[in-house]
Amino acid sequence: MRRSVFKSSSLITVILAALAAAPASAGELAVRVQIPRIDVAEYHRPYVAIWIENPDQSIASHLAVWYQTDPKKEDGTQWLKDLRQWWRRGGRELTVPIDGVTGATRPVGEHRIVFKSDSPQLAKLAPGKYGLVVEAVREVGGREIVKIPFEWPSASKQVLTSSGKTELGTITLELLP
């Protein structure tokens, strides 16, 4: 009894997923970011910036910036420059917070962010070659960048992965046509 209910609900999920993927405008870009557990005496959650870069490394779209936003603590914006590559490529031209982009730091574990093709982050993205960039920097820790090249929009469903060695775990880019 229990099993059959489970079965039918998963069938519905499959149907819904198929329906969602059907229209041409329903393209989707999802990023999964693993923040690894790091065994150190003083651990602070990393600052993370996730963006889409053009072939010339300029920023095509800011997807997410996670930093210390707690108003009870010291002003967390002062360390945004430590996301060195993001800061250089365009972070320094922004005023934070940015609705739908900036947010609080995340704990150890896997985090998934999803954007529809008509979202503000993707709507202005012309068809072409891009790179997904994930940069992480940790207070009294290290800094790391992981890049995944991709084409947008994607003709088929794609799952692209790359891994960091120190500050980042597996980064997964899921593209739906």
Question: Shortest approach of other proteins to residue 166 CB, angstroms?
Answer: 15
15 vs 117: CA distance, rounded Å: 21
108-127: burial string, b at 16+ Cβ within 10 Å, e else: eeeeeeebebeeebbeebee
Question: Which pairs count as long-range contacts for 69-78, CB under 8 Å and 24+ apart, including other chains?
Answer: 69/97, 69/102, 69/103, 69/104, 69/105, 70/104
Contact 135, 144 (CB under 8 A): yes
Residue number with CB closer to other proteins (7 or 88): 88
Q: Looking at beta carbons only, is 81 or 106 nearer to other proteins?
A: 81
Query: 3-state DSSP call for residue 156?
Result: coil
Closer residue to other proteins in complex, CB, 26/94: 94
Closest to other proteins by CB, 92 or 157: 92
| Residue pair 46/137 in contact by the 8 Å Cβ criterion | yes
Rounded to a whole number of angstroms, the minimum distance from the CB of residue 143 to other proteins is 9
- Nearest approach in angstroms of CB 15 to other proteins is 48
Which of 34/77 has CB closer to other proteins?
77
In the sheet that holds 47-53, the strands lie side by side as: 102-104, 59-67, 47-53, 128-137, 143-152
What minimum distance in Å lies between the beta carbon of 163 and other proteins? 19
Name the residues that contact other proteins, by CB under 8 A. Answer: 77-78, 80-81, 84-85, 87-88, 92-93
**C-beta of 53: minimal distance to other proteins in Å?**
14
